[in-house]
Each structure stands twice: as structure tokens, then as C-alpha cells.
Chains A and B, each alone.
Chain A
């Protein structure tokens, strides 16, 4: 049921930027793009979300294309602890919509 498409896996060298793509070509005008990650044996962790504009916080940056059909999560300086499964999720804004997790991207950060 997930409305996003992500590559199943990616590799990144420690200290380099990790750029994780996500396609959401059927996104609606009132849907936000959310990113979560799940480090092994832990619960999912919120990273960032956005609607139209690019967003940045202490963890990552989110770049959303102008047509909103795709986005990229950027971890500017990946560390070994960033190894995790990253989920791109579209979610209706406001109130009570829930999260629909897909298969995500397994990011492996290597020394």
C-alpha cells in the first residue's frame, strides 16, 4: 500500500554525504513527505518532514522537487551509526493520519 518507491539498498563511505532518493509520483497536494529510519533492534526514529520547501534540521536535509514527485534525504556527513533502514512516507497533513511504511532503503555506512 506504500505510495513511495525507494532503492532497496545503498552504500556510503563514512564521512561522505549519503543521498537517499524517493519517488512519490502520486502524491496529493495535502500530503507531506516524511522520513523515518530504523536502526537495528530499535523503534523507528523520526528524521524530517516537508511539504514543498526544502527542509533542514540537525540530522538531515530534505530536498523536494518542484513538482513534488520525488525527494532526496541528505545525511551530510554519514557515520557508522547512520547504518539503518530509511523509510520515505507520504502522509496527509493534520490530525489523525497514520504512517504507512514500505520496504525502505537499507543504508550501509562503511569505514
Chain B
């Protein structure tokens, strides 16, 4: 079974440009999460999808970030326009929660974004 896959693994863009990150969750996982780690900081939650709906987007830093999950399958995270402080590693995770049961979240390898 394929794990969570993220594309690209690395991206270097200039300030002001647009970048789109993609995440393919594990098949059948309704929950999809975006996290990021900026240099020297802790891993921070950005956003949570349940199928195609945004369950919690309290961690999104500002309106330059747009996340979508059309059809409840893969998700994209677009940064437009990118700023220097957006540099970091963006992680995607997916999980399959069954009511009150706890199941673990599986993380992808991350996309390392560098804005120059």
C-alpha cells in the first residue's frame, strides 16, 4: 500500500512567485492535514480536511495560502505570492478516524520550499 506522497520534494522559487504543493493521501483516508516547519521552529499545524471540506484552518498563516481538496482525494497548497518567511518544510498527513477510536496519522516525506 502506498503511503502519503508529496510533490515536489524540493522547490526553489523567487519572492513574489507562486508555488503549488501537492499531497496524495493514503487511499481511503478521509482526513488530510497540512503542517509546516520553518527554520529553527517547531512543526506547526496549518489545516485539516475531512474529505473535501475544511474542518479546521486555524493554522493558516494568512490569505496568501490557499488549500484545496477537490473530490476529497489529493490536496494542493498554493502560496501566492511567496515571501521569504514561507521557506520551510511542508508536511502532509492523512488518517482514518472511526468515530471515537484513535488512529495514527501517516506523514509524507515533506516538500522543502525555499523562497529566495
Contacts and interface: CB of A to CB of B under 8 A. Distances in A.
B4 interface: yes
Nearest to A102: B42
Interface stretch (B13-21, B62-70, B74-82, B98-106): B98-106
A96 B51 CA distance: 12
B45 A94 contact: no
Contacts, number: 56
Contacts of B104: 34, 46, 49
Interface in A24-83: 32, 34, 38, 41-46, 49
A34 B103 CA distance: 10
Would you list the 4 A-B pairs with minimal beta carbon distance, nearest first?
A: A43-B107, A46-B104, A94-B100, A101-B43
B97 A42 contact: no
Contacts of A2: 42
B85 interface: no
Given A43-B108, A43-B110, A44-B91, A98 B99 contact: no
Contact of B106 (A38, A46, A93): A46
Interface of B: 4, 31, 33, 35, 42-45, 48, 50, 55-56, 91, 93, 97, 99-102, 104-110
Contact of B56 (A41, A98, A100): A98
Interface of A: 2, 32, 34, 38, 41-46, 49, 91, 93-96, 98-103
Nearest to B58: A98
B42 A103 contact: yes
